[in-house]
Structure 1
Amino acid sequence: MLLLGLLLLLPLLATARLLWGWWMLRTLHLPPLVPGFLHLLEPNLPFYLLGLTQKLGPVYRLRLGLQEVVVLNSKRTIEEAMVKKWVDFAGRPQTPSYKLASQDYQDVSLGDYSPLWKTHKKLARSALLLGIRSSMEPLMQELTQEFCERMRAQASAPVTIYKEFSLLTCTIICYLTFGNKEDSLVHAFHDCIYDLLSTWDHWSIQILDIVPFLRFFPNPGLWRLKRALKRRDHMVREQLRRHKESLMVGECRDMMDYMLQGLRKHNVEEGSAGQLLDGHVHMATVDLFIGGTDTTATTLSWAVMFLLHHPEIQQQLQEELDRELGPSASDSWVQYKDRARLPLLNATIAEVLRLRSSVPLALPHRTTRPSSILGYDIPEGMVVIPNLLGAHLDETVWERPHEFWPERFLEPGAHPSALPFGCGARVCLGEPLARLEIFVVLMQLLRTFTLLPPAGALPSLQPQPHSSISLQVPPFQVRLQPRGPGVPGLGDSQ
């Protein structure tokens, strides 16, 4: 009887909330509203949202269940909000799933904007950029060479490259964060991350953020998520315990050491106000794994897929690498600071990131105070979604926006910049690490192998259709044909 009463109450509550929202906003000049409330069920949501701009323009509102959001679909509107008016749009919505996953917002990615959040982000970013700067690139080169040797041992057999990339990126982050690349640790964190991501992505979790009171009903998906989070937190706490027990003042073996030392220094200088806690180091570590494993592996997989479809560009890339480094695979490489020596490789990476940003809708923002975009009023507390795909396919900015055309980034003179990692105060924390990984891995992969489709069958370039915010690469395999003296090149294998 109680359950029946609650079910009858739901439509009344939804109607009351909509009427109250309409009454409060009646005097504002708001963006146009898209009819309906089941938009989250659309396959390939970023493309769907971009398609709505044909009738409504680059700024509009829509309802995701009971929640009303504003969507920005052009480079101009995203930069106006996130760069020019960044303080207005720097907040994060405080949703049930965010609170559950982020230890009550002790988190850089999901935490709301505040002075303590700024300090937390500064600590994590310093650990990433300064704490291990001297060792990061050589370490990445070493792990990538080991990866290529493992792939070489498979003797041109078809490889599920996404899985291999995800293990590689997880290994890199384990080594950078914990100073440990043991297979058992890497596989434990890898399995934990993907269990967590697949559980979070399920509709039974996504719906809690748009219809929050459903969290009071039995939900097997929510139970699975809590178990995955408990496992995650246990593993990170164990690493924190080990690092704190062996920490030596002034010595930083890895990023966790750097953050723990930075935490102590900050709290001594700041006193009791605005203190950082162990939980902040814990969640910064979680951010690095969640944000730096699947997303980078997905981008690398899209790069391989585009090069399978464009063998002429792959051959040009290999010729560029051979000119700079010689035709045989050796221990030499182009350092990231000298990446201008490989202009086509840089252009190809930029084009992959433009067309297939792994998280094209970024994470939702929330207005911290009343603001405006293109003359439309945006009230305080409004959830705002920047559709980065809209910025990257904006016909007013890009020539032939839907084509894979790396040469657009080689043309003389100024060219527009893409926003694959977002922009402004909420730009992705791991952008420098991700760009370095993509550069190093693709350089070594193309220098060592020719990428060929299995049995001549090209995989689809269409993202997996599902009701998620990401553009996940469809399952595919690739043959990695070793290059070197006496080994046929790309042109000979066709």
Structure 2
Amino acid sequence: MLLLGLLLLLSLLAGGRLLWGQWKLSCLHRPPLVPGFLHLRQPNLPMYLLGLAQKLGPIYRLRLGLQDVVVLNSKRTIEEAMVRKWVDFAGRPQIPSYKLVSRHNQDLSLGDYSLLWKAHKRLTRSALLLGVRSSMEPLVEQLTQEFCERMRARAGAPVAIQEEFSFLTCSIICYLTFGDKVKEDTLVHTFHDCVQDLMKTWDHWSVQILDIIPFLRFFPSPGLRRLKQAVENRDHIVEKQLRQHKESMVAGQWRDMMDYMLQGVQKPREEEGLGQLLEGHVHMSVVDLFIGGTETTSTTLSWAVAFLLHHPEFQQRLQEELDRELGPGAWGSRVPYKDRSRLPLLNATIAEVLRLRPVVPLALPHRTTRPSSIFGYDIPEGTVVIPNLQGAHLDETVWEQPHEFRPDRFLAPGASPSALAFGCGARVCLGEPLARLELFVVLARLLQAFTLLPPAGALPSLQPQPHGGVNLTVQPFQVRLQPRRGAPGLSKRQ
């Protein structure tokens, strides 16, 4: 009887707590709720969410499975939350797949907000901006030049350009992270295959459904088992590189980002009250660099090529700009990134591609760290918030003809607002400086050396993969790279 009474009491307490929570929520002025709970399975989810905003306004709630989330669909609402009230919205929900992939919450992209997270972010940013600053641009130039030479050997033949861009961006991250240890393509291929396998497994519906309905993880799941195997493979590869670096590292010197971060975590931080950064934080910084720095940049480059194939007039104008600035046939010449204003149309084209096709269109979900509000709506603590970056970029109240590819909109000073392709606030993408450098260098070199042509006139689709997971992925296509007149390696007949 005593046990039965205790069970009854616990049930009453749990029920009372639930009712109290529901009553408190009912007293708040919350955003409107969209009916239904299978929204995640909609094709081209960012555009579907934007369509809802046209009916309900730029901020509303919906249920993704059992999870109640708030969606922000305009530049104003996103900046209100992520910039002006960034502390309130800097958290990250701890859903099952995040916990598995983030290695005991030591990940930067997926880790929840804390003082130790801020120290981790500062260390990773320093590794990018200080640790390899002097070598970053020369390395990107060198690898891009080698890429163009490989493409020249396949001149005129159809090329699956997404795969080539993916390997190029992975090579850049490999060299920046591991330095001279990258002596051959074997390591690059290993990391490239690892990232591809991890992302493909993570984006599979059988894993996504566990994040929406967490209790399903207690049942057998082949998708979850494959994800665990992919994570173990990833960790094995990274741990091997950490071990080799520690064995050969010289105190006070660094050859690459891994050296820089390993020495950074050895510095005591107790006086800051932040706790101690560990080797596991370096491990996950490397993972973030590869996942965030490979597919995102290569996908943006692929979208740029796809748009230029559809708009050859802009391709011609870009090549005229390069020839005018560098001289026709000046294949050894380049515009340093610090002087990128010399190529305004190229900068505008990059901005327009990022506006139309932000690679992570819904960013990663945020979580409120305390009760807050957005434009008069109450947002309780612990609420999951999704910023629809692509929706904000297609807002007709902000952008003229938002669905049209119009790089000229960015040419006149103050003519167009800045886009949010890399996010904003505390969770802004740390790899933005490297990504922008790569986009500038690769597109400048590519257009300087080649004219981009569709094979047999077959233009690529400008619609993304309908269920592309986290990334806004371009549908597979091929391109012919026709060497421009006077390019090195061309015969007189060409």
Q: Matches of 1:139 and 1:201 in 2, distance apart?
A: 31
Partner of 1:323: 324
Partner of 2:306: 305
SS of 2:62's equivalent in the other structure is: strand
Any conservation in 2 of the 1:61–1:69 contact (CA below 8 Å)? Answer: yes
Any conservation in 1 of the 2:198–2:227 contact (CA below 8 Å)? Answer: yes
Partner of 2:188: 186
Any conservation in 2 of the 1:65–1:211 contact (CA below 8 Å)? Answer: yes
Q: Matches of 2:427 and 2:335 in 1, distance apart?
A: 30
Alignment of 1:373-384 (within 5 A): 373-384=374-385
Partner of 2:276: 275
Deviations 1:389-408, CA, capped at 9 Å, x for gaps: 11101111111111000000
Deviations 1:400-442, CA, capped at 9 Å, x for gaps: 1110000000124453000000000000111111111111100
Alignment of 1:477-488 (within 5 A): 477-485=478-486
Q: Matches of 1:399 and 1:160 in 2, distance apart?
A: 33
- Aligned residue identity for 1:86: W
SS of 1:292's equivalent in the other structure is: helix
Alpha-carbon RMSD across the aligned residues, in angstroms, is 1.9
SS of 1:35's equivalent in the other structure is: coil
Give unmatched runs, 5+ long, in structure 2: 1-14, 489-493
Deviation at 1:485, TM superposition (A): 2.3
Deviations 1:118-175, CA, capped at 9 Å, x for gaps: 0000000000011111110001000000000000001210000000000000000000
Partner of 2:230: 228
- Aligned residue identity for 2:186: S
Partner of 2:76: 76
Partner of 1:460: 461
Partner of 2:165: 165
Q: Matches of 1:270 and 1:325 in 2, distance apart?
A: 53
Partner of 1:239: 241
Deviation at 1:104, TM superposition (A): 1.5
Alignment of 1:98-177 (within 5 A): 98-177=98-177
Deviation at 1:70, TM superposition (A): 0.1
- Aligned residue identity for 1:358: V
Deviation at 1:326, TM superposition (A): 1.7
Alignment of 1:261-410 (within 5 A): 261-265=263-267, 267=268, 270=271, 274-410=275-411
SS of 1:107's equivalent in the other structure is: coil
Q: 1:153 to 1:467 in 2, by over 3 A?
A: closer
SS of 2:266's equivalent in the other structure is: helix
Q: 1:125 to 1:395 in 2, by over 3 A?
A: same
Any conservation in 2 of the 1:252–1:258 contact (CA below 8 Å)? Answer: yes
Deviations 1:344-386, CA, capped at 9 Å, x for gaps: 0000000000000010100000000001111000000000000
Q: 1:17 to 1:303 in 2, by over 3 A?
A: farther
SS of 1:103's equivalent in the other structure is: coil
Show structure 1 runs of 4+ deviating over 3 A: 15-24, 268-273
Any conservation in 2 of the 1:329–1:448 contact (CA below 8 Å)? Answer: no
Deviation at 1:251, TM superposition (A): 1.2
* Length-normalised TM-score, structure 1: 0.93
- Aligned residue identity for 2:132: I
Q: Matches of 2:17 and 2:229 in 1, distance apart?
A: 33
Deviations 1:64-89, CA, capped at 9 Å, x for gaps: 00000000000000000000000000
Range with greater deviation from structure 2 (304-313 or 174-183): 174-183
- Aligned residue identity for 2:299: T
Q: 1:462 to 1:45 in 2, by over 3 A?
A: same
Give unmatched runs, 5+ long, in structure 1: 1-14, 488-492
Q: 1:21 to 1:483 in 2, by over 3 A?
A: farther
SS of 1:118's equivalent in the other structure is: helix
* Length-normalised TM-score, structure 2: 0.93
Deviation at 1:48, TM superposition (A): 0.4
Q: Matches of 1:168 and 1:468 in 2, distance apart?
A: 22
- Aligned residue identity for 1:196: L
Partner of 1:61: 61
Any conservation in 2 of the 1:328–1:485 contact (CA below 8 Å)? Answer: yes
Any conservation in 1 of the 2:115–2:274 contact (CA below 8 Å)? Answer: no
Deviation at 1:22, TM superposition (A): 4.0
Deviations 1:76-122, CA, capped at 9 Å, x for gaps: 00000000000000000011111100012101100000000000000
Q: 1:28 to 1:137 in 2, by over 3 A?
A: same
SS of 1:249's equivalent in the other structure is: coil
Q: 1:17 to 1:43 in 2, by over 3 A?
A: farther
Deviation at 1:208, TM superposition (A): 1.1
Q: 1:370 to 1:316 in 2, by over 3 A?
A: same
Range with greater deviation from structure 2 (57-66 or 17-26): 17-26
- Aligned residue identity for 1:31: P
Deviations 1:257-311, CA, capped at 9 Å, x for gaps: 011111112x267489610000000000000000110111100000000000000
SS of 1:94's equivalent in the other structure is: coil
- Aligned residue identity for 1:194: Q
- Aligned residue identity for 1:234: H
Q: Matches of 1:101 and 1:133 in 2, distance apart?
A: 29
Any conservation in 1 of the 2:331–2:487 contact (CA below 8 Å)? Answer: no
Deviation at 1:486, TM superposition (A): 8.5
Deviations 1:235-268, CA, capped at 9 Å, x for gaps: 0000000001111012110000011111112x26
Q: 1:467 to 1:24 in 2, by over 3 A?
A: farther
Q: Matches of 1:116 and 1:268 in 2, distance apart?
A: 10
- Aligned residue identity for 1:211: I
Q: Matches of 1:277 and 1:400 in 2, distance apart?
A: 49
Q: Matches of 1:463 and 1:486 in 2, distance apart?
A: 33
Partner of 2:3: none
Q: Matches of 1:17 and 1:361 in 2, distance apart?
A: 33
Deviations 1:447-467, CA, capped at 9 Å, x for gaps: 010000000111111111116
Q: 1:20 to 1:355 in 2, by over 3 A?
A: farther
Partner of 2:417: 416
Any conservation in 2 of the 1:74–1:387 contact (CA below 8 Å)? Answer: yes
Which of 206, 209, 225 is equivalent to 2:208? 206
- Aligned residue identity for 2:447: L
Partner of 1:91: 91
Deviations 1:9-52, CA, capped at 9 Å, x for gaps: xxxxxx99997864441100000000000000000100100000
Q: Matches of 1:39 and 1:465 in 2, distance apart?
A: 13
Partner of 1:432: 433
Alignment of 1:250-261 (within 5 A): 250-261=252-263
Deviations 1:302-355, CA, capped at 9 Å, x for gaps: 000000000000000000001111222523211111000000000000000000
